[in-house]
Amino acid sequence: MKLPMKSLLSLLAGLMVVVFAATACSPPAEEEASGGPIQVNTANGPVTIDGTPKRIVTLGAQWIDTALAFGVKPVAYLDNIAILTGKPSPWVDNQLDGSTALDPENLVAEIAKADPDLILAEGYMPTSQPENFEKIRKIAPTIPGVTGKQVDPWQDLVTLMGTLVRQPEKATEITDGVNAKIAKVKKDLPGLAGKTYAMAYLYSSDQIQVMADPNDGAAYLFNELGMKVAPKLLAQFEKTKNPRFPISTENVPMLESNLLIVTATTPALSKALPKLPGYSDLSAVKSGAVAQLSVADISGLNQPSALAIPYLLDELAPQFEKAAK
């Protein structure tokens, strides 16, 4: 059964992804060393992986990035960022050359053709695409997500991947490396602690989508740097409990913060943003701490990964420096 492209894009969009519960269990050390079975407990029941998987299919950018961080190229993949933007994310670039990009219109058949021994899927799949999920899990052991949080923590994905490919030391190395980069930014820019940020996605001429939940997956990097959600956005979240919501362009003053992260769906909207009433009065605009990110970049913030985080730290470095003053 084919899923309509519109539905697939709405499900795959990093900005709106919803991840459901799944919990991973690592095997005893002796099993890990011997290549014995690994059981992963998920919200859809236990999944057993025999031996070390060699032909892995990754469904979603977070899993793609996690596999590539280990030097593991999936035999086939579904990249939500590439579907949205037409090309891989900049931190992936050409690392997927030689791997098969799956057609979302013919997903089950193409996964079967890839002959995988492990499928790593996003946690929303069992509930949003139940028929496809049931068919896919019959092809090979399928792990749908890792945790019950809105977005899987990248560290948990790395830990599980290290277990699955029998490289726990590599998992530790990857995690420590990313954490070290974050720690360096904190050390170099102590002024970021306590500063505020706003994330705004201009998707029409009169509507801006904002993120206001400090526990949202997209807040991860800013939380690590000691930053806080813009006060007016946070107040609205605490009042309505809506983690993400639209505001009209006349409410641009709600974006008042030390750092402003903005994305627009089209170049025309990007050019229109500075002309909106109240935009020039924002503190971040006055200090130059405005980062106009691409859809790929904002997807990396929404779904942090071991590859996206280091890239975004470099990409946002000039704005972090200005916000820290």
- Say what the pLDDT of residue 43 is: 79
Q: Are 269 and 207 within one domain? A: yes
Q: What is the rounded CA–CA span in Å between residue 42 and residue 297?
A: 30
Q: Does some domain include residue 20?
A: yes
Q: Does some domain include residue 84?
A: yes
Q: What angle do CA 247, 322, 270 make, to 5 degrees?
A: 40
Q: Are 124 and 228 within one domain? A: no
Where does 189-230 have alpha helices with state H? 220-224
Per-residue pLDDT tens listing for the chain (325 residues):
434 433 333 333 333 333 222 334 444 444 444 568 999 988 788 899 999 999 999 999 999 999 999 999 999 999 999 999 999 999 999 999 999 999 999 999 999 999 999 999 988 888 888 899 999 999 999 998 887 666 789 999 999 999 999 999 999 999 999 999 999 999 999 999 999 999 999 988 889 999 999 998 889 999 999 999 999 999 999 999 999 999 999 999 999 999 999 999 888 999 998 999 999 999 999 999 999 999 999 999 999 999 999 999 999 999 999 999 9
Length of the chain: 325
- Say what the pLDDT of residue 26 is: 43
Q: Are 95 and 215 within one domain? A: no
What values do phi and psi take at 99, rounded to 5?
-95, 155
Q: Are 209 and 128 within one domain? A: no
Q: Are 85 and 27 within one domain? A: yes
Q: Does some domain include residue 246?
A: yes
Q: Does some domain include residue 298?
A: yes
User: Hey, which residues does 316 pair with through a beta bridge?
Assistant: none
Q: Are 10 and 158 within one domain? A: yes
Q: How many CB atoms lie within 10 A of CB 87?
A: 12
The CATH number of whichever domain residue 306 belongs to comes to 3.40.50.1980
Q: Are 39 and 25 in contact (CB under 8 A)?
A: yes
> What type of residue sits at position 251?
N
How many structural domains are present in the chain? 2
Mind giving me the DSSP string for 248-294?
EGGGGGGG-SSEEEEEESSHHHHHHGGGSTTGGGSHHHHHT-EEE--
> What type of residue sits at position 314?
D
Which of 170, 203, 232 is where one domain is finished?
170
Range of the domain at 93: 5-170
Q: Does some domain include residue 175?
A: no
Q: Are 154 and 194 within one domain? A: no
In which element (H, E) is residue 39 found? strand 38-42
Q: Are 16 and 157 within one domain? A: yes
For 257, the token pair is 């913060």
Q: Does some domain include residue 165?
A: yes
Give, in order, the Cα–Cα distances in Å from 250 to each of 16, 39, 224, 282.
23, 52, 31, 13
Dihedral (CA of 310, 311, 314, 318) sign: negative
Q: Are 74 and 26 within one domain? A: yes
Q: Are 159 and 257 within one domain? A: no
Q: Are 228 and 237 in contact (CB under 8 A)?
A: no
Q: Are 272 and 205 in contact (CB under 8 A)?
A: yes
Q: Does some domain include residue 176?
A: no
Q: Does some domain include residue 189?
A: yes
- Say what the pLDDT of residue 18 is: 30
Q: Are 163 and 191 within one domain? A: no
Q: Which of 323, 264, 258 shows the shortest CA–CA distance to 293? A: 264
Q: What angle do CA 209, 127, 1 make, to 5 degrees?
A: 105
Q: Are 17 and 154 within one domain? A: yes
Q: What is the rounded CA–CA span in Å between residue 59 and residue 139?
A: 14
Q: How many CB atoms lie within 10 A of CB 186?
A: 14
